[in-house]
Amino acid sequence: MTGINRLPQIPLGCGGPAIGIQGLGCMGMSEFYGDTDETESLATLELALELGVTMFDTADVYGMGENERFLASFIQANRGRAVIATKFGYARTPERPDNWSLDNRPEFIRQAADNSLQRLGIEVIDLYYMHRRSTDVPLAESIGAMADLVAEGKVRALGLSAVGAQELREAHAVHPIAALQSEWSIFTRDIEAEIVPAAVNLGVTLVPYSPLGRGMLTGQTLAENLSAGDARSYFPRFSAENREANMRLVAKIEGIAAGQGVTSAQVAIAWLYAKAGELGAAVSPIPGTRSHRRLQENVAAASLALDQTAMAELEPLACEVAGIAI
Ligand SMILES: NC(=O)c1ccc[n+]([C@@H]2O[C@H](COP(=O)([O-])OP(=O)(O)OC[C@H]3O[C@@H](n4cnc5c(N)ncnc54)[C@H](OP(=O)(O)O)[C@@H]3O)[C@@H](O)[C@H]2O)c1
């Protein structure tokens, strides 16, 4: 087939199931990034497994249940091979699509898990994340409810998304946390100072989301080409006023890519593995793609080494990005 080597596998957290060192972000297959093609998305899922991408990332909020429903038949057909990761935390529903309020109450968590299990058509969620922390509920109470799901056999491993180092430690003291999913890329590096060291110390696997800067780092997702329904039109880094400054930075990535005969997406992914290696962190980034060709490209980047000159050129870019990450 592709000539690409199957990805190496690592344990998820301390003693969790084996996962490929790259996962697949499935969000865009149902919402936020413009038109989707179900046939091509399904082909992407199938190829992912073949290449050793075993962790499939979704959330109940993506498409308000649609993304989980879309993945259901693929996950059911590949139980034992595919690791399904989903998330709870947003109160958004098809009846109230603009309700982005957070809910971390134990009763909400129990209901959300049952809803996700039903939509996915499976008995147990492999990795269940709190999507966002709500300070309205003591963290230990929410983690306690998540731990109950593990005890009941509805969930295998627990994860958190976008929490701080202290929250991660506090949660881990209640129940082992297998994975921390946070934004991490050449352009977004806030987690490196405190959060990555905390995760390393606790044996938590890092799952960098938006490793391609929501497409910006590839040089192919241009603000002026976003369709009307594309959520990125509203994101500061894609705004007209920040466009020029950010495209100058993307050009530097493109220059490195051209010098190595690879793509900018591959440089962005290879940078993450190199940076995680420097920090001693176990990572499984989850680039999102709906294209089997791009999936191949992204997987191939797992064996691409960037030299010190390239790493040094990429080092300052995060401080120069215009617009906050959303
Ligand atoms: N925990 C959280 O709060 C959170 C937040 C955001 C995302 N996530 C998760 O993280 C996953 C990844 O993040 P993301 O999708 O926001 O951003 P991303 O992975 O940084 O970028 C995705 C974008 O890049 C494009 N792309 C992918 N591979 C490419 C390649 N080789 N060349 C050119 N373009 C390429 C995709 O388009 P095509 O699809 O058309 O290929 C898509 O537009 C999501 O799917 C979701 O599961 C989690």
Cβ(183)–Cβ(240) under 8 Å? no
Distance, CA of 74 to CA of 5 (rounded, Å) = 23
pLDDT > 70 fraction of the chain, expressed in percent and rounded: 99
Mean pLDDT, residues 193-214: 98
CB 41 within 8 A of CB 73: no
Q: How confident is the model at residue 177 (pLDDT cuts 50, 70, 90)?
A: very high
The mean pLDDT value for 132-140 works out to 98
Whether the predicted pLDDT of 89 surpasses 70: yes
Q: What is the pLDDT of residues 247-272, one digit of tens each?
A: 999 999 999 999 999 999 999 999 99
Q: How far apart are CA 36 and CA 288, in angstroms?
A: 13
Phi, psi of 311 (to 5 degrees): -60, -40
Give residue 92 CA to ligand 1 midpoint distance, Å: 21
106 CA from centroid of ligand 1 (Å): 30
Q: Which residues line ligand 1 (CB under 6 A)?
A: 25-28, 33, 57, 161-162, 181, 209-215, 218, 220-221, 265, 286-291, 294, 297-298
Tokens representing 87 are 């998330």
- pLDDT for the residue numbered 167: 98
The closest of 294, 285, 215 to 43, measured between CA atoms, is: 294
Mean pLDDT, to the nearest integer, of 112-119?
Answer: 98
| Helix-helix angle 240-260:264-279, to 10 degrees | 80
- 256 three-class SS: helix
Give the contacts of 70 (CB within 8 A, at least 6 positions apart).
26, 29, 30, 38, 41, 63
pTM listed for this prediction: 0.97
Q: Which protein residue has the closest C-alpha to ligand 1 atom 4? A: 209
Angle of the 292-300 helix axis to the 38-50 helix axis, nearest 10: 30
The closest residue, in CA terms, to atom 30 on ligand 1 is 294
| Averaged pLDDT score across all residues of the chain | 96
- 243 burial class (0-12, 13-18, 19+ CB within 10 angstroms)? middle
CB of 291 closer than 8 Å to CB of 302:
no
Q: Catalytic residues, which ones?
A: 62
Å from CA of 133 to ligand 1 middle: 22
- Least-confidence region, from 31-35, 41-45, 62-66, 223-227: 223-227
> With bands split at pLDDT 50, 70 and 90, how would you rate the model's confidence at 222?
confident
Alpha carbon distance 236, 218 (integer Å): 17
Question: Ligand 1 mean position to 144 CA, how many Å?
Answer: 31
Q: What pLDDT does residue 135 have?
A: 96
Ligand 1 nearest atom to the CA of residue 268, by list position: 20
Give residue for tokens 């793609």: 289
Q: What is the pLDDT of residue 1?
A: 41
> What is the torsion angle, in degrees rounded to the nearest 10, for the CA atoms of residue 25, residue 28, residue 33 and residue 39?
130
Question: Angle of helix 139-151 relative to helix 106-120, nearest 10 degrees?
Answer: 40
Confidence of residue 20 (pLDDT cuts 50, 70, 90): very high
Banded pLDDT at 4 (limits 50, 70, 90):
low
The predicted pLDDT at position 2 comes to 42
pLDDT score of 224? 81
- Predicted confidence at residue 3, as pLDDT, reads 55
What is the mean predicted confidence (pLDDT) over 142-166?
98
